[in-house]
Amino acid sequence: MLVYDTRYRSLTIQVVFLFLFMAGAAWLIDNTLQNLARLGKDFSFNFLWSRAGYDINQRFVEYDSGMTHGRAMLVGLLNTLFVAALACVTATVIGVLAGVARLSTNWIVGRLMTVYVEGFRNVPLLLWILVIFAVMTEAMPQPSAFRGDEPAASMLLFDSVAITNRGTYIPEPLFARSLGDIYVGLFYISLDLVAVIAVFIASLLGNRVLLRHAERVQNETGVRPRTWWKSVLILFVPLLILLSALGFHLRYPELRGFNFQDGIFMRNSLMALWLALSLYTGAFIAENVRAGILAISRGQTEAAFALGMRPRRTMRLVILPQALRVIIPPLISQYLNITKNTSLALAVGYMDLRSTLGGITINQTGRELEGMMLMMLVYLVISLLISLAMNIYNRSVRLKER
Amino acid sequence: MSETHAQTAAYVRDTMIPEQAPPGSEFGAIHWLRSNLFSGWLNTLLTVLSLGAVWWLIVHIGPWFGNAIWNANSLSECRAILDGREGACFGVIKDRWHQLLFGFYPGHLYWRPVLALVLMLAALAPVLFTGVPRQMLWFTALYPGVAYWLLWGGSVWFPIAALAGFAVGYAAYLLLARVSTLIGTIAAFLAPVLWWLFASQAVADALQSVIPLGIQPVRSDLFGGFMLSIIIGVTGIALSLPLGILLALGRKSDMLLVKTICVGFIEFIRGVPLITLLFTASLLLNYFLPPGTSFDIILRVIIMVTLFAAAYMAEVIRGGLAALPRGQYEAADALGLDYWKAQRLIIMPQALKVAIPGIVNTFIGLFKDTTLVVFIGLLDPIGLSNAIRADNAWNGIYWELFGFIGLMFFIFCFGMSRYSMYLERKLKTDHR
């Protein structure tokens, strides 16, 4: 018997396993083909090039109902990525602050943060999205409440942000001497934005060169040259020059007629999704941060103190570099969770990938098999890209054991 | 040095100074306040801000609870009673609690889910706490059949015939293991499957026609509320742990093929949102099954939720396996244990212990994820809250309703996390 011979045992088991697996796969595919034939459907992705015929209320690239289902999918994908990116940033900020605050010696702050973390972690995300959406739509003032000499509601932050029950209005950045847009095959990209990002990255690189130089001087002479004002100059002056050259200004939202005009309009669905994702994931990130800091043994702090370092410098040079190694992998998987959780947008009608491709497109074309497969593929690619980033990071910070 | 007495050196004290109380600022409430709340300008600022936040909450929530109205049949009635004051309207909970808990389950049959819940606690007790007599585990093993029968009703013979599948498998093993252990093992897996596919329904029908024993059946679409969440959550939890262990072992396996398939499965499931899997269950499963078959939507959801949680569970358990030193595997080999014995007696007890926090986190995540079934039309608490808010009488209510649902989830999830801490403390064997 092949199973009893250790030389062939694993091979035999694998062959049997493969046989069973193939049989199962063949059974599924055969069933699918039969069912498709019975329903009179074929398997094709041609529907992506047919007219969509529905509107999407938030779009970052040009779109109207006359365009194709494929285009609608792109709009939905960008909406998904947009809210995911927003939520990642705010969740990180909230999570790091809450995680550090929970470790603080301040009794009240510690308790409040415990309440926050436990409260958000133990209640479903969907419930938080619905609660925030309900608060935004039912408890916020109507635009008309902002009118009159003694309005019932007022705008926040020096009359620049208006929170109404229809959505939130924030100032819009504009350029008086704009560089125009460039067409990159699928959509237009604002050259102003590209220029700003390019200058900012150049400034960061310049600052890095400066710091490296300072470190070399410190290593040679033992005295670190003063760098903070040079850093400030390098980081901000080129950006300010560019912005003033482009004629940067803000256009504030203004109440005209029955509603606010101008400014950027953020729908309640976006706000609810963004806030709920940030607060919910922030609670998880807070726990990761806390665990990361606690994972560094007390001896490290004591050793740093024994060397005469002050608490702040100990934190920056000894604790944080080691804690980050523990914190960042779970942090990245939280980003992955945020991206996947954006699919709950369905509950508040935010037009993400799930609502465009996985919702209206499937309903209109009846291509649920192809649509779902494509959608799963897109999510899978995003996830794999994020895990790739995580693996690269892990490799770069791995302890060099010799 | 003993010659140097106090007498010869007059300046040396020969009596101890009596102990003195520490200065007033070093103990008691004032010291605590100073070191904990006002130890620097930043800390002081944070304290003041936090106190402000707590005060704001008390000022706003206090009257809201203080003026709460329990006896009202609609939001407008509530507002009329409140007469402009701020106050909660818990009338909605009083009016609809039975829906939030049981969905549209027939009112005169509420005793059945309640009894199932009580029996579930009894069945869980020997699993959760070691102090409970071990014989109770027999009841735990039988509980799934009991619970199914109580919840869905119908003939008592159906769950009995289904449970009998395990007995059939065991009997097949006993019979054929004498011929060869391998054939016996294969038969132990094959016989129950054949039994369930071909014999169990017929046997149940035959027994039912001979001895009709049954209670009123309840359709799946009447299930809802927390009852539905608990059914999906508990079944998913119970099934995902063994499946997750198998997947984790498959991923650690030396066999390339098994490993590849397990890795592919885990990464696929972890890469897509649960919603897409649930939609697959509700829209696409009909494509993958032979034409004309269709089975219960709750069962489909349970399968998908289980697969989803199992992939996460596998990763958590893999972490636990990775934490074990290599020597443990080698020691098991040196003792001459075969693969399954080594896993059962040496590896898994330690790996699972290390992985407890992660496992319980996955359980909590799964229980919270049961709310997503609202998207495929099942009436879980959130689906019911949407229905209640759409009702004319309660249109515009949200804090009271969402607060109640959130509180229920909080109790379950917080309870689970506390239990995991208790378990970790109990199983802690290292002496730090």
Specify which of B1-10, B91-100, B235-244 reaches the highest per-range mean pLDDT. B235-244
Phi, psi dihedral angles at B398 (to 5 degrees)? -145, -45
Q: Where are the domains positioned within chain A?
A: 2-40, 76-154+267-397, 172-251
Average pLDDT score over chain B: 86
pLDDT confidence of residue A205: 94
Q: For residue A199, give Cα distances in angstroms to A182, A204, A206, A328, B126.
A: 18, 9, 10, 28, 65
**d(CA B211, nearest CA chain A) in Å:** 38
Answer yes or no: do A124 and B368 touch at CB < 8 A: yes
pLDDT confidence of residue A286: 93
Q: How confident is the model over A239-258, as pLDDT tens digits?
A: 899 888 888 888 888 777 77
A189 within 8 A of A182, measured Cβ to Cβ: yes
Is pLDDT above 90 for A285?
yes
Cβ-in-10-Å burial (0-12, 13-18, 19+) of B409 comes to: buried
1.10.3720.10, 2.60.40.1930, 1.10.287.130, 1.25.40.10: which CATH number matches B91-105+220-427?
Answer: 1.10.3720.10
Which residues in chain B are closer than 8 Å to A21, comparing Cβ atoms?
261
Is pLDDT above 80 for A185?
no
Answer yes or no: do A125 and B368 touch at CB < 8 A: yes
For residue A112, the Cα-to-chain-centroid distance in whole angstroms is 26
CA neighbor of B379 nearest in space, from B143, B114, B169, B105: B105
Is pLDDT above 60 for B200?
yes
In which band, very low, low, confident or very high, does the pLDDT at A209 lie, cut at 50, 70 and 90?
Answer: very high
Query: Which residue among B53, B182, B406 places its CB closest to the CB of A123?
Result: B406
Answer yes or no: do B273 and A343 touch at CB < 8 A: yes
Is the Cα dihedral B10, B11, B16, B20 positive or negative? Answer: positive
1.10.3720.10, 3.40.50.2300, 1.20.140.10, 3.40.47.10: which CATH number matches A76-154+267-397?
Answer: 1.10.3720.10
Query: Which residue among B35, B258, B382 places its CB closest to the CB of A130?
Result: B382
Is pLDDT above 90 for A144?
no
Greater confidence (A129 vs B12) lies with A129
CA pair distance B182, B189, nearest whole angstrom: 11
Which residues in chain A are closer than 8 Å to B267, comparing Cβ atoms?
384
CA torsion B182-B184-B187-B192 (nearest 10°) is -130
Mutation choice for B interface testing from A127, A332, A346, A357 by most B CBs within 10 A = A127
Average pLDDT score over chain A: 86
Q: Where are the domains positioned within chain B?
A: 24-66, 91-105+220-427, 154-215
Which residues in chain B are closer than 8 Å to A118, comparing Cβ atoms?
414
Answer yes or no: do B372 and A38 touch at CB < 8 A: no
Unique residue bearing structure tokens 């947008």: A345
Is pLDDT above 80 for B294?
no
pLDDT confidence of residue A98: 92
Mutation choice for B interface testing from A5, A130, A360 by most B CBs within 10 A = A130
Q: How many residues does chain B have?
A: 432
**d(CA A383, nearest CA chain B) in Å:** 5
pLDDT confidence of residue B400: 86
Answer yes or no: do B54 and A376 touch at CB < 8 A: no
Is pLDDT above 60 for A73?
yes
Q: Is B379 in a helix, a strand, or coil? A: strand
Query: Which residue among A18, A127, A135 places its CB closest to the CB of B257?
Result: A18
Greater confidence (A79 vs B43) lies with A79
Which residues in chain B are closer than 8 Å to A272, comparing Cβ atoms?
none
